Amino acid sequence: MKNWFVFTSVLLGSSLLAADANSPFLKSHKRTHRNNAGPVGTVTIVIDKSDYELSVYDSKGWYATYPVVFGNSSLSDKKMEGDKNTPEGEFRITAKRVHEKWCRFLSLDYPTAADREKFNQRKQRGEIPQSASIGGGIGIHGTWPHEDFVVDRYKNWTLGCISMKNDDVIEIYGFTGAGNKVSIRK
């Protein structure tokens, strides 16, 4: 029994070491900052779905990176309402508010004209039903109270939004506003 345990432990350890070095699961899933002084000038947000990261850039360049999770684990582009996919493209924050369930909510201008064009093309190609709706209400928000662990565990749980730890969303809420650019990519 002891030899089986040692063999299994070595085998599992080797598997973890052989895992893809680009896997987000091997990276530290904590926020990192350039400094504690806050961003300078205009703030832009870049969300990388494949790395499960939201990065903030300001007039000096990179400012901070935060861990995030999404809707569907496939990380596919949003095709229609109800698919739980997070849209990809160029957006702007349109509004922000304290949210009763998810701490803070930064609304994005999804769907944009580009999203409507992709949606209509997908309908024409038969990729989605003719009766499908494009959806809306996409934003960046926190988690349920005391459930930041879903971000640490890479648990995609939203209906297409971007979810952050509550302390992190409070932080970016403080230095963003209507008009800030948000780029979401895979």
Tell me the whole-structure pTM to 2 decimals.
0.83
DSSP-derived 3-state class of residue 173: helix
Please tell me which residue, 78 or 18, carries the higher pLDDT value. Answer: 78
Percentage of the chain with pLDDT > 70?
84
Q: In degrees rounded to 5, what are phi and psi of residue 119?
A: -60, -50
Give the residue from 73, 39, 4 showing the smallest Cα distance to 180: 39
**What's the mean pLDDT when you consider all of the chain?**
87
Cα dist. 136→4, 30, 101, 108, 141 in Å? 53, 29, 18, 9, 15
**What domains are there in the chain, each with its CATH number?**
69-178 (2.40.440)
- Cis bond upstream, residue 129 (ω within 30): no
Give the residue from 61, 59, 52 showing the smallest Cα distance to 27: 52
pLDDT tens-place string over residues 65-113: 999 999 999 999 999 999 999 999 999 999 999 999 999 999 999 999 9
pLDDT tens-place string over residues 123-144: 999 999 999 999 999 999 999 9
